[in-house]
A and B are shown apart, each in its own frame.
Chain A
C-alpha cells in the first residue's frame, strides 16, 4: 500500500480543547447555516448533501498538512455549499454575492488599518 492509499489522519493529538474554528469566518459561516436551517430555509438532509458534494470535490491535502489547513479546506467547502443553498432557495444569486463581496473588499481598502470597516465605505456611485 503506498502513501496515497493511507493518508495520515490530521489533528489526532490536538486534544479535546482544540478550537473548533480556526478563523472567525468559519464560525460565522457555521452559524449562518444553523440559523437558516432553524428558520426553515432548508432541511439538514439537503444541507448535508450539498456539503458532501463539495467535500468530495475537494483535492486531498498533502500528508502532514496542518489542522488549520484541514479546517480551512473543510470550511471553504462549507461556504461553497452555503452559497449554493442560499442561491438555490432564492435568497441570493452569484452576481449579487460577487458584487457584495467586492464592496466589502473595497470598503476594507478605503478604511485605515485598525478602524472598523463599514460596508458603505465600499459602495461606488452606481453601487
Chain B
C-alpha cells in the first residue's frame, strides 16, 4: 500500500484487515456471529481471571476435604466452584511443599488453565519462557525474583491441550485465623503458575 497519500481517509493495517476478512467470510457462512464474538471477548476480559484460581487455592488451604478432592479430581473439584474449561481440558492441581516446588509451562504453544487463571500473560506465551522453563527452571525463577532453598526440588509440568495444571502454592506463615477471602488476596497469578510464591500477609 502506498504511504505517500494525504491522511484524509481511513487505513487498515494488514492484521486488522485479515481478521476482518475472516470475520466477514465466517459470518457470511453463518458459523460465527459478531455479537457472540464480542461476548467471548467481554467474558475473557472481565469475568475470567486469576481471582477464580485464588478462590480455589484459598479454599484448598482451609478445607481439607476440598483439598483432597482437588488432589484426586481437580477437574470436578474446580468445576464444583463454577469454573469449567471450554476446551474440554482436564485439570490437575499440583501442590507445593518444602520438598518440591511446581512450575507450569506449555512448551508446545500456550495451553493454560483459562477457567481459573484467565488468559496467559505475555511471558507465558513468549518463546524465551517456553524454551527455558524446562531447561533451567531456577534461572527462570530468579528472573521472577524467586529463590528457592537448595533442598527444594523444582518440578516443571508441561501443559497440553488436554491437560492443564494449577499450582497450589504453600500457605504463607502467619495466616492462621485469616478468612478465606483474605487468604485469596495473598494468592497471586504467578504463584499459581509457579513463577511466584503466595504473598506474606504483611505484603498483601
Listed in ascending order, the chain A residues whose CB lies under 8 Å from chain B are: 6-12, 14, 16, 18, 20-21, 23-25, 27-32, 34-39, 41, 43-45, 47-49, 51-52, 55, 58, 60-61, 67, 70-72, 74-76, 79, 82-83, 86, 91-92, 96-97, 100-105, 108-115, 117, 119
Contacts and interface: CB of A to CB of B under 8 A. Distances in A.
Interface residues of B, number: 65
A7 B24 CA distance: 39
B18 A97 contact: yes
B40 A31 contact: yes
Nearest to A29: B19
A109 B11 contact: yes
A4 to B, nearest CB: 10
Contacts of A47: 161
A91 B88 CA distance: 23
Contact of B8 (A16, A48, A113): A113
A-B pairs, 10 with minimum CB distance = A11-B122, A100-B21, A48-B161, A44-B87, A20-B119, A31-B40, A7-B128, A101-B21, A31-B37, A52-B109
Interface in B40-71: 40-41, 44-45, 50
Interface in B127-186: 127-132, 136, 139-140, 143-144, 160-162
